[in-house]
Structure 1
Amino acid sequence: MTSERRSKTLTAVLMITPFVITYLTVFAYPVYKMFALSFTNAPLVGEGEWVGFDNYLKLLNQKLFFTSVWNTGYFVVLTVIPNTLIGLGLALMVVRLKGWLQSLILVLFFLPYILPVSVVTQIWEWVLDQQFGIAQHVIEFVTGRRISVFRDPLWAMPMVALVTIWWTNGFNLLLFIAGLRNIPTDYYEAAMLDGATRWQCFKRITWPLIWPVTALVLTLQLILQLKIFDQVYLMTEGGPFNSTYVLLQLVYREAFRLNHGGLGSAVAVFLFLIIVTVSVLQYQLLRVRGR
């Protein structure tokens, strides 16, 4: 038995060793290096001198830092809950379809998700172009004039959020479809026999049973949207007047443009701690609410 246990232990160690090595190399060491650099005045490449908390104090005295924190939070508000609710609503409609029609609709909704961000932003720059964009007809009908949305501080961030929802919602849709398919149809049949309406079926059956998937989608969306960078950089570059300047763009500015590796690492540490803290708290609160 001892020999067999040793053999199993050795097999288990050999099986997990590639993952452990990859994890330490790709994730753990870079995170350690990020924390270490944040306490130095190092450039992007090379060593620096220990400066303690000076980088963090500089951030607290930097107006652009607070602007980027605010804009990141604003973007999260515009995307996380709306994206989740839209995905759930679409899933409730698509799950009622059958056969090839359901497959076709799923493909159409999921197709944007597999597109590169550069393609997505290019498509929407054409759609929202002030002179030739087809979406300008809707904007003109609502506001009475055409608007260069990515050059207007009031419109820029909501439009980036709209593009993000259109781009990423297909993934949420698939998660909700999977969750809805796991709900036994017997529950609905029994409820209908008792005279329950569709709203009552949703409130008493669908919503409680789909809640774990909803909590997962909300957590994933929160993490993803806190890391917003690509769409903002390609569409607005943080403008106009820093109205779309986000935390990852500040990391890019300090580390890659100004060669302030230590200060850029401090911003990255701040964002890392926000993501870990907020996502863990949200997921635990959602689990408690689900129970």
Structure 2
Amino acid sequence: MTVRRTRAGWLFAGPALFMLGLFFAVPVLLAFVLSLTDFDLYALADYRDLRFVGFGNYGDLLATPLFWKALLNTFYFVLVGVPLSIGLSLGAAMLLNGVASKLVGLFRTALFAPVVTTLVAVAVIWRYLLHTRYGMLNYGLERLGIDPVDWLGDPNWAMPAIILFAVWKNFGYNMVILLAGLQTIPNDLYEAARIDGANAWHRFRHVTLPGLGPMILLVSILTMAGYFQLFAEPYVMTQGGPVESTVSVLYFMYEQGFKWWNLGFASAVAFILFVIIFAITVVQYRLAQSRGDA
């Protein structure tokens, strides 16, 4: 009976595993193989021009200052954007689960709407909102007596502006997941905590956060992986500028692969990014296991 159930399980999981291997494992393997060659525009025209260079692309990549600049920009985006996005998502979810629970359907739809909008379209709109002279944001600052800020033209403000846009665009997805998690926490736990004299902070720390542990792990992994793949925002809003302050790893890879046609070099960038995301995901999962959240 056990053997038959095992076979049945593999039979049902087989199609999903096949698709996962076809669209994940195979591309990763091919990207790694491609990163070991000097595949470029000439090799694309004639495969006889293709040469095996081993780990030469990786050595050249680590010696490229712009790659380290892009990696630093990406980590800055992730380290600031991920906690901010999750924090706002959790705050909105708790608000909808409590004070605004009677209008939860309306607010959930309104706050989730940016997630399903076309990223390029809203990025163009945000470019106008952040315009130095005509933007609505600077208009509001001017009314408060604050000098206009060159949001997308100042190296000190360009990345924060992109982080602000990305958080607005994506936090609704995490909000829906965390709201579902909040609704699974029994009210009896909160009532017991109130009887024991726990204030709002203690109830949040000792009831809400432990109850949301698996959900927070899920949204942190999804958000982190998505934010490491920063591309469309700087591509539309700043083109990597000013002074390369918004060049991300994925934007750097795009330029190497589709602007300069150094496809082998670009594949090395893609594989390093994959390794970074995979390693951080494993660390997050291990830490969650040690806390009992996974």
Q: TM-score, normalized by length of structure 1?
A: 0.91
1:66 counterpart = 2:63: no
Residue pair 1:216, 1:283 contacting (<8 A) in 2 also: no
- The residue identity in structure 2 corresponding to 1:33 is L
Q: Unpaired runs of 5+ in structure 2?
A: none
- Cα distance in 2 for residues equivalent to 1:172 and 1:99: 18
5 Å-filtered alignment, 1:185-264, equals 185-264=187-266
Q: Deviations over 1:70-98 (max 9, x none)?
A: 11111111201111111111111110146
CA RMSD between the two structures: 2.2
Deviation, 1:16, is 3.8
Q: Deviations over 1:218-244 (max 9, x none)?
A: 111111111110111111110011000
1:127 counterpart = 2:124: no
- The residue identity in structure 1 corresponding to 2:278 is V
Deviation, 1:185, is 0.6
Q: Which among 7, 16, 19 is matched to residue 16 of structure 2?
A: 19
SS of structure 1 residue aligned to 2:152: helix
Deviation, 1:13, is 5.5
- Cα distance in 2 for residues equivalent to 1:213 and 1:21: 28
2:279 is matched with which residue?
Answer: 277
2:55 is matched with which residue?
Answer: 53
Q: TM-score, normalized by length of structure 2?
A: 0.90
Deviation, 1:211, is 2.0
SS of structure 2 residue aligned to 1:151: coil
1:42 counterpart = 2:39: yes
How many residues matched?
288
Q: Unpaired runs of 5+ in structure 1?
A: none
- Cα distance in 2 for residues equivalent to 1:223 and 1:142: 38
Deviation, 1:14, is 5.0
Residue pair 1:128, 1:149 contacting (<8 A) in 2 also: yes
Q: Deviations over 1:27-68 (max 9, x none)?
A: 222111100011110126464211111111111221111111
**Structure 1 residues 139 and 53, CA, compared in 2 at 3 Å: closer, same or farther?**
farther
Deviation, 1:132, is 2.2
**Structure 1 residues 197 and 12, CA, compared in 2 at 3 Å: closer, same or farther?**
closer
